[in-house]
């Protein structure tokens, strides 16, 4: 993907196209939370440190939905064209080499799918596929050669983490004209049916695992909602939080949500023990779309598409301010990229007019 090579010579010379990249300067085994020098203030900043392209992998349209699922040694990527088509996927190892067929896998082609979500739970890939007002929940074999349909749920939206644990039950959350729904699965992954979570009609939604509970957030035309499913607690704000993404950390009893409002990208602190868990809303960037967020165990990573169409990715500090680096020349459409923490590093995986590729971000103390 030529656009991923549009970096300075200094970056290119230091990184090459190795997916694993050079050693993270901040990942030396020490406690990164401790001060290095009590007399010198240091700040951890993001830096582009590796790139990879996949010219051999087939895809159906530039305007596709791309979802990345981290694994211990790399990542799996899943794609469907937004105009409707098959589910494709491929895996990469820690060096960015495609595992198996270099063209990728045709996983499911029996229906016209227009949206998807994907996650890994209980050592298997779980993929939600949207088609004609229904969501098909599937378990996909590790080598992506086979799938098993687990259930069909009502709705035209599915949480980006397809299935999460909620008090010893696996649940998938979906949304549509009938409101927000929850579909449960037993220990053998048999569907136990669906129940209503809320009657408000979502325009977008997002999900995250929160300890042994499922956290789901959704936007209507005029309101923003956040619910912890097992706890049965729902919070509402009097504004929309369109195309939101959640990243939370049970240890700190909270996290962040990013979302769109008009031409801006907003960020809100999630405080589970607060008066209203959706707290401290701030402007992240005045012109941007398609926000993503991920937690690497120490830092929250955020990405978005800027006013020029370029990808921007960086870390937010404790106040929600963003230190970022532009992945210039990489210009995916709204859903054709994803942000994930894979093998301990933050990555953006993107499909644009030049093909498929990935960029790794390092943490550098300055």
DSSP 3: G
Query: Does the pLDDT at position 302 exceed 60?
Result: yes
Q: What are phi and psi of 201, to 5 degrees?
A: -95, 115
Phi and psi based region of residue 325 (left: phi greater than 0; alpha: psi -120 to 50; beta: remaining): beta
Range of the domain at 200: 2-365
Residues 6+ apart with CB under 8 A from 166: 212, 213, 214, 229, 230
Query: Does the pLDDT at position 329 exceed 80?
Result: yes
pLDDT, mean of residues 144-163: 96
pLDDT the model gives residue 317: 92
More confident residue, 151 or 187: 151
Which strands, in side-by-side order, build the sheet including 224-228?
A: 204-210, 213-219, 224-228, 233-237
Both structure tokens of 67: 């979802």
Phi and psi based region of residue 189 (left: phi greater than 0; alpha: psi -120 to 50; beta: remaining): left
Q: What is the pLDDT of residues 109-131, one digit of tens each?
A: 999 999 999 999 999 999 999 99
Compute the distance between CA of residue 269 and CA of residue 318 in angstroms, rounded to an integer.
Answer: 9
pLDDT the model gives residue 47: 87
Which strands, in side-by-side order, build the sheet including 264-271?
A: 242-249, 254-261, 264-271, 278-285
Q: What is the pLDDT of residues 8-47, one digit of tens each?
A: 322 333 344 444 444 443 343 333 333 333 444 567 788 8
Alpha helices in the chain (DSSP H): 9-15
Banded pLDDT at 5 (limits 50, 70, 90): very low
- Percent of the chain whose pLDDT exceeds 90: 75
Phi and psi based region of residue 237 (left: phi greater than 0; alpha: psi -120 to 50; beta: remaining): beta
pTM as predicted: 0.88
Q: How many CB atoms lie within 10 A of CB 177?
A: 10
Residues 6+ apart with CB under 8 A from 227: 180, 197, 198, 215, 216, 217, 233, 234, 235
Q: Domain total for the chain?
A: 1
Dihedral sign of CA atoms 4, 21, 8, 366 in order: positive
Q: What is the pLDDT of residues 42-79, one digit of tens each?
A: 677 888 888 899 999 999 999 999 999 999 889 999 99
pLDDT the model gives residue 220: 98
Compute the distance between CA of residue 252 and CA of residue 267 in angstroms, rounded to an integer.
Answer: 17
CATH value at residue 115: 2.130.10.10
15, 24 in Cβ contact below 8 A? no
- Percent of the chain whose pLDDT exceeds 70: 89
Q: If you search the block for the tokens 């923003």, which residue do you land on?
A: 224
pLDDT, mean of residues 319-348: 92
Compute the distance between CA of residue 1 and CA of residue 350 in angstroms, rounded to an integer.
Answer: 10
Q: What is the pLDDT of residues 83-100, one digit of tens each?
A: 999 999 999 987 778 999
Both structure tokens of 30: 């020490």
């Amino acid at each position: 993907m030529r656009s991923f090579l549009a970096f300075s010579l200094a970056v290119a010379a230091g990184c090459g196209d190795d997916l694993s990249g050079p050693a993270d300067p901040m990942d030396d085994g020490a406690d990164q939370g401790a001060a290095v020098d009590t007399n010198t203030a240091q700040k951890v900043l993001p830096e582009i440190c590796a790139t990879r392209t996949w010219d051999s992998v087939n895809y159906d349209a530039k305007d596709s939905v791309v979802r990345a699922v981290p694994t211990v040694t790399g990542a799996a990527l899943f794609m469907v064209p937004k105009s409707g088509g098959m589910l494709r996927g491929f895996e990469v190892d820690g060096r960015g080499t495609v595992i198996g067929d270099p063209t990728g896998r045709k996983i499911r082609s029996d229906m016209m799918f227009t949206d998807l979500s994907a996650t890994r739970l209980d050592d298997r890939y779980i993929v939600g596929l949207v088609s004609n007002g229904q969501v098909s929940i599937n378990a996909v074999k590790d080598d992506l050669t086979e799938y098993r349909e687990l259930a069909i749920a009502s709705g035209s939206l599915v949480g980006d983490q397809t299935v999460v644990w909620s008090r010893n039950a696996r649940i998938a959350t979906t949304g549509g004209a009938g409101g927000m729904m929850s579909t449960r699965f037993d220990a053998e992954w048999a569907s136990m049916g669906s129940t209503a979570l809320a009657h408000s009609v979502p325009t977008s939604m997002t999900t995250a695992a929160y300890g042994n509970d499922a956290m789901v957030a959704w936007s209507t035309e005029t309101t923003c909602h956040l619910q912890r499913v097992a706890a049965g607690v729902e919070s509402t704000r009097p504004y929309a939080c369109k195309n939101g993404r959640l990243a939370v950390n049970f240890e700190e009893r909270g996290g962040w949500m990013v979302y769109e409002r008009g031409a801006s990208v907003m960020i809100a602190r999630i405080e589970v023990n607060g008066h209203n868990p959706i707290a401290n809303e701030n402007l992240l960037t005045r012109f941007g779309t398609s926000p993503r967020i991920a937690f690497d165990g120490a830092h929250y990573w955020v990405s978005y598409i800027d006013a020029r169409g370029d990808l921007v990715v960086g870390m937010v500090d404790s106040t929600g301010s963003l230190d970022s680096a532009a992945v210039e020349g990489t210009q995916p459409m709204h859903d054709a990229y994803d942000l994930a923490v894979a093998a301990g590093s933050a990555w953006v995986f993107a499909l644009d007019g030049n093909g498929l590729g990935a960029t790794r971000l390092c943490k550098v103390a300055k």
